[in-house]
């Protein structure tokens, strides 16, 4: 009898736990759930927020091998109201738990972007690890694109934004949490990738979807084409073309859209203040992240003779910021150590193979150091112009030189003296 009572008790406890923690009491019919995979947010002409939700509609059928999708747009005076409206007009309960992507339309850059993103950072209904990006035009249009990469465009976008280790770090991705943390930090500076569309036709030719999208050659010839983009060395080459961040077409007959996210939009106090071009985005990543196995193109190494181009693989990057702050001076040094090896070149060298034991020619080392120094200086100039402190100089001042923080917090970008030391090494 005693054991029967114990068993009944254990069963009752287990049943209560299962019911309680499995959300049984708050069940919503699965057919009434809209599983939102991505949202695009724009501002309509009547000054309302327009939220377009990409909804995955799973089907238990073998007729259609791919999941269906739907794009439903709701409007509202706040982002929350617009999302609510999506549920209202569709009859589906908008479930944001699986939403991993938020596309911001260009129309929203005219106001403080945090007005939009704050909703997502506060609500527990969405993961605040969801990626955030800026569309070059309308967010809804970007989400409505047909891409050969995936039947669902948001999944295709995530493929190029969230790269596994081993890929080039040529994109500066951010998520809701990081963007908001940067916004609410001392420097109020944040960034997100600016995604441009690249149309790919039958012939395999790629056309930029944007009239102002610089091609790699344009970037090289006119690095300051955009007033806010960072300048780069005239001899520098694009380290990564737009197509390098996009996958090639799978050979579908109709024109398909690929995405280029190698430029970065800069925000200061939530307002868009400029962009980083492809080269500056790469250098930002090399300075702030682990760029191991990222490739770097080095052009015209030996200018006196024929054109020598190299493809360098970064094996290890170590960057640090040294700051000294006194009553009279604020000095910031950027030290970048790179260990790399040559992956490819456009001319034959009989005694050079691609094994790890190949040493780095001194000319390559010097050229790379010169180019990286110029690019870091270019990035610093962009930071000065836009006040978007993506290198977190102000944060460093606050954390390590709090005694001088009050003195320099408002004018540190103007008064700081910068030094850049780049050391490139290869196999010795």
Partner 1 sequence: MQYQLKTRQICLFFVAFLPVTKIFMLPSVFEKFAENDMWISCLCNIILDLAAVFAMIFACRKADTDFFGLLKNSFGNVGSKIILSLYVVYFFIKAIMPINEQKDYIEITFYATLPNIFTFVPFFLISFYISVKKIRVIGRCADVLWAITSLGFLLLVGLSVSNVDIQALLPFGVRGAKSILSGSYSALSWYGDSAYLMFLIGQFAYKKKDGLKIFFTYLLASFAILLFMILFYCIFTSTAHRQIFSLTEISKYSSVIINIGRFDYIGILLILFASVFSMSMPLYFASLILSEITGIKKSWISALIINGGMFVFLMLFSEFFSTVQYYIFNYAGIYFLILGNLFPLFTPLLKTEKKKNALYQN
Which residue's CB is nearer to partner 1, number 121 or number 226?
A: 121
CA distances from 13 to 7, 353, 403, 413 (A): 10, 68, 58, 62
> Which of 270, 289, 288 is closest to 185 using CA atoms?
270
Q: In the complex, what is the shortest distance from the CB of residue 423 to partner 1, in angstroms, rounded to a whole number?
A: 24
Which residue's CB is nearer to partner 1, number 384 or number 392?
A: 392
Alpha helices (runs of H) in 73-138, residue ranges in sequence order: 79-90, 114-122
Q: What are the residues facing 206 on neighbouring strands?
A: 200
Q: Alpha-carbon distance 273 to 269, whole Å?
A: 9
Q: What are phi and psi of 122, to 5 degrees?
A: -95, -35
Neighbours of 21 (CB within 10 A): 8
Contact call for residue 163 and partner 1 (CB under 8 A): no
Contact call for residue 399 and partner 1 (CB under 8 A): yes
CA distances from 408 to 186, 332, 377, 397, 402 (A): 12, 13, 21, 8, 10
| Total residues at interface with partner 1 (CB under 8 A) | 31
Which residue's CB is nearer to partner 1, number 21 or number 306?
A: 21
Q: In the complex, what is the shortest distance from the CB of residue 99 to partner 1, in angstroms, rounded to a whole number?
A: 13
**What does the chain come to in residues?**
428
Which residue's CB is nearer to partner 1, number 18 or number 57?
A: 18
Q: Alpha-carbon distance 387 to 393, whole Å?
A: 11
Rounded to 10°, the helix 278-288/362-386 angle is 100
Are 82 and 75 in contact by the 8 Å Cβ rule? The answer is yes
Q: In the complex, what is the shortest distance from the CB of residue 136 to partner 1, in angstroms, rounded to a whole number?
A: 25
| Eight-class DSSP state of 163 | P
Tokens of 71: 């794009």
Tell me the per-residue interface mask from 43 to 82 with partner 1, x by CB under 8 A, - otherwise: ----------------------------------------
Q: In the complex, what is the shortest distance from the CB of residue 291 to partner 1, in angstroms, rounded to a whole number?
A: 16
Neighbours of 179 (CB within 10 A): 25
Which residue's CB is nearer to partner 1, number 185 or number 210?
A: 185
Contact call for residue 288 and partner 1 (CB under 8 A): no
Q: Which of residues 179-238 bind partner 1 (CB under 8 A)?
A: 180-181, 184-185
Collapsing DSSP to helix, strand or coil, 369 comes out as helix
The span of 50-58, 116-124, 257-265, 280-288 binding partner 1 (CB under 8 A) equals: 116-124
Among 8, 10, 28, 255, interactor with partner 1 by CB under 8 A: 28
Are 146 and 257 in contact by the 8 Å Cβ rule? The answer is yes
CA distances from 143 to 54, 62, 152, 154, 210 (A): 7, 26, 9, 6, 16
Among 21, 204, 253, 350, interactor with partner 1 by CB under 8 A: 21
Contact call for residue 25 and partner 1 (CB under 8 A): yes
Among 400, 407, 425, 427, interactor with partner 1 by CB under 8 A: 400
Contact call for residue 175 and partner 1 (CB under 8 A): yes
The span of 69-77, 127-135, 227-235, 290-298 binding partner 1 (CB under 8 A) equals: 127-135
Q: Taking the alpha carbons of 124, 125, 127, 131 in that order, is the dihedral positive or negative?
A: negative
Q: In the complex, what is the shortest distance from the CB of residue 149 to partner 1, in angstroms, rounded to a whole number?
A: 18
Contact call for residue 292 and partner 1 (CB under 8 A): no
Contact call for residue 166 and partner 1 (CB under 8 A): no
| Eight-class DSSP state of 110 | G
Among 398, 407, 418, 427, interactor with partner 1 by CB under 8 A: 398
Binding-site ranges for partner 1 (CB under 8 A)? 9, 13, 16-17, 19-21, 23, 25-26, 28, 93, 95, 121-122, 124, 127-129, 162, 164, 175, 177, 180-181, 184-185, 398-400, 402
């Amino acid at each position: 009898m005693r054991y029967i009572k114990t068993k009944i008790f254990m069963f009752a406890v287990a049943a209560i736990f299962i019911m309680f923690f499995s959300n049984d009491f708050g069940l919503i019919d699965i057919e009434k759930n809209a599983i939102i995979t991505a949202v695009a947010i724009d501002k309509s002409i009547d000054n309302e927020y327009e939220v377009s939700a990409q909804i995955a509609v799973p089907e238990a059928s073998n007729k259609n091998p791919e999941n269906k999708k739907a794009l439903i747009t709701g409007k509202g005076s706040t982002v929350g109201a617009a999302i609510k409206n999506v549920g209202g007009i569709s009859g589906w309960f908008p479930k944001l738990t699986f939403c991993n992507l938020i596309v911001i339309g260009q129309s929203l850059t005219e106001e403080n972007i945090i007005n939009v993103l704050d909703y997502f950072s506060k609500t527990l209904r969405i993961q605040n690890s969801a990626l955030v990006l800026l569309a070059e035009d309308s967010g809804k249009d970007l989400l409505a694109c047909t891409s050969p990469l995936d039947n669902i465009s948001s999944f295709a976008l995530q493929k190029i934004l969230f790269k596994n280790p081993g890929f080039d770090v040529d994109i500066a991705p951010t998520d809701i949490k990081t963007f908001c943390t940067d916004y609410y930090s001392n420097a109020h500076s944040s960034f997100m990738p600016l995604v441009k569309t690249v149309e790919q036709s039958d012939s395999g030719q790629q056309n930029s979807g944007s009239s102002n999208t610089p091609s790699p050659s344009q970037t090289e010839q006119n690095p300051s084409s955009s007033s806010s983009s960072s300048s780069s060395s005239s001899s520098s080459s694009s380290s990564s073309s737009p197509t390098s961040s996009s996958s090639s077409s799978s050979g579908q007959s109709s024109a398909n859209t690929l995405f280029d996210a190698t430029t970065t939009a800069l925000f200061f106090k939530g307002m868009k203040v400029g962009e980083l071009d492809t080269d500056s985005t790469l250098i930002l990543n090399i300075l702030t992240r682990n760029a191991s196995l990222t490739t770097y193109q080095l052009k015209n190494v030996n200018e006196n003779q024929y054109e020598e181009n190299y493809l360098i693989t970064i094996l290890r990057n170590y960057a640090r910021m040294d700051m000294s702050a006194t009553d009279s001076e604020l000095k910031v040094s950027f030290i970048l150590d790179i260990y790399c090896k040559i992956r490819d070149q456009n001319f034959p060298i009989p005694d050079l193979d691609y094994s790890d034991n190949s040493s780095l020619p001194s000319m390559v080392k010097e050229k790379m150091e010169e180019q990286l120094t110029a690019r870091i200086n270019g990035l610093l100039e962009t930071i000065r112009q836009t006040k978007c402190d993506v290198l977190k100089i102000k944060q460093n001042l606050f954390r390590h030189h709090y005694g001088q923080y009050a003195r320099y917090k408002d004018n540190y970008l103007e008064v700081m003296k910068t030094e850049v030391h780049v050391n490139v090494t290869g196999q010795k």
